[in-house]
Amino acid sequence: MRRAVCGQWTGRVVWFVQKREKMTFGCGVSLLVLVLFPASLTSAECIREGQESELVAAEQNAVENSEIIDEYLQASFNFSLTMFRTLLSVQNGDTVNDNLIFSPHSVWQALVLTYLASDGETSEKMEKAMNLGGLGKVKTAMAYNAIKYFEEVVVPENSEQNGVDDMDFLGASDNGKANKGYQLDSVNKIYFDTHLRDHLNPAMTRFLGEEIKTVDFVNDAENQRLKINQFVAELTRGKIKDLLSPGKISPQTLMALVNAAYFKGQWLHPFDPKETRWANFHLSNGEMVNVPTMHLEDTYFPIGASRELEAGIVELPYASGDGRDISMFIVIPSGTQTIDDILLKLTPENLRTARMHMGRKQLSLLAMPKFKLEDSFELTPIFNSMDLGDLFVAGSANLTCLAPRLGGLALSSADHKAAIEVNEEGTEAAAATAFIQLRWVERFQYGK
């Protein structure tokens, strides 16, 4: 039984036209790189003292809670597509020819920890925006840690017993080792100011374990910023540098919540570098540019068509257990459909239906641009459009499940960076997300 997994990389990059069995990239581009795989509390309550032990027991019996994990992963996927559409809608100016790369998985990971830290109306709004209302706080925490448990305990034990290196039940491993052709790492960290560590909820501290770390922002702000950036750069193999710009961490910083994610996968059917050559690439505005284009002939790929999306879909699998654990999906607009038309109609149900009807077919030619992209942006406008704006409003934000006596403290910023490179061997992608929370200076006096 295979469970789903953790990560979705999304880019609006290219589009290609299908003519019989020949596929070649042309104008109006759309590329989706998706990582896909076939308690007694009210939802808003905090994790309480003594309850974290129940969660640990639940993690170790996570197979029995497969429905909870499935619902959690479905919520993650729903949120990812909603965020993608929201990001497109809040962009300013003419973005038809702009490339867009971001990792909703990285943002989701940071938001899940923020949700577990939230209480009251903030928690209720986050539940709605993240589709977690059916799970609530405890079941979300259970699913979150159950997935980590599989990665850190079950998978290594099974690998040792079976004599197989790095067999990963979820297709991901936080130890950064290669796994059957691909690796997928995702790590969360909460950096909390040591001067206010006594305000932390002990149950949450034990639940988070090594994910929470107390540091001295008051006297060592700049050095802590550099250390956080170093952590991100190391986990992303240098793909994401300087996530936090100078001044982002200050003596007034209370908390920095950070996710760093990395993916590297080898194609199941790699392209021959000798066949890469310059070819015309048509932009959505009708302009034509010359780009390095990879070519692969007479190869079988899963392909299909979606009536709901009015688009074709081609699956490019990465090397893994059965060759389809993790894939790049290329969505092909048909007729007069534009890229944004497709994306606005893209739902988990539509994508699932399309994938169910995909079949293997030999393509006489697959021509695909070789590209490298990176992007960064502030998430606040996106969250405002998703009814998460209260997180940034002092007096309205409520993160007291993490620090009960520090109510009303808002996030001051939410930053995201992502990068992706696609070449003949496969794909390498990385992303990082950081939420910063400030203290109210006039409210707290150290030593009193």
Per-residue pLDDT at 357: 87
pLDDT tens for 146-200 read 887 666 654 444 444 444 333 233 333 344 444 456 888 999 999 999 999 999 9
Higher pLDDT residue, 288 or 219?
A: 219
Element (H, E) at 53: helix 52-60
Per-residue pLDDT at 446: 42
Closest among 99, 59, 83, 148 to 422, alpha carbons compared: 99
Domains defined for the chain, CATH in brackets? 50-155+180-265+370-441 (3.30.497.10), 277-369 (2.30.39.10)
Instruction: Give CA–CA dist 141/143, Å, rounded.
Output: 6
Q: How confident is the model at residue 281 (pLDDT cuts 50, 70, 90)?
A: confident
Positive or negative CA dihedral for 83, 330, 241, 177? positive
Instruction: Give CA–CA dist 328/323, Å, rounded.
Output: 12
Higher pLDDT residue, 43 or 328?
A: 328
Work out the mean pLDDT of the chain and round it to a whole number. Answer: 79
Q: pTM of the prediction?
A: 0.83
Element (H, E) at 429: strand 426-438
